[in-house]
Amino acid sequence: MSKSLIIMINKSLAEYIKNENTNYESKEYDLLYEELVKQKLKNYERKMDLRKKGKNYEKKKN
């Protein structure tokens, strides 16, 4: 399973828990939400690293 699919599944599950107010504890929803935030932060950091490498490459190239 790809990471994006796992993130979509977790997001979908978190939204379901939030919207349905079933027997899930809010703690479980919070853990899912926290995992989503961590994934987004990781993706953002990776994106920034790639941009930085790209800029360094352009500097060396010129």
Q: What is the pLDDT of residues 7-59, one digit of tens each?
A: 777 777 777 776 666 555 667 778 888 898 999 999 999 999 988 888 887 77
The domain tally of the chain equals 1
DSSP output for 2-62: -HHHHHHHHHHHHHHHHHH--S--HHHHHHHHHHHHHHHHHHHHHHHHHHHHHHHHHHHH-
Residue-range definition of the domain harbouring residue 40: 3-61
pLDDT at 1 over 70: no
Position 42 scores a pLDDT of 92
Position 57 scores a pLDDT of 78
Position 22 scores a pLDDT of 57
Name the pTM for this structure. Answer: 0.47
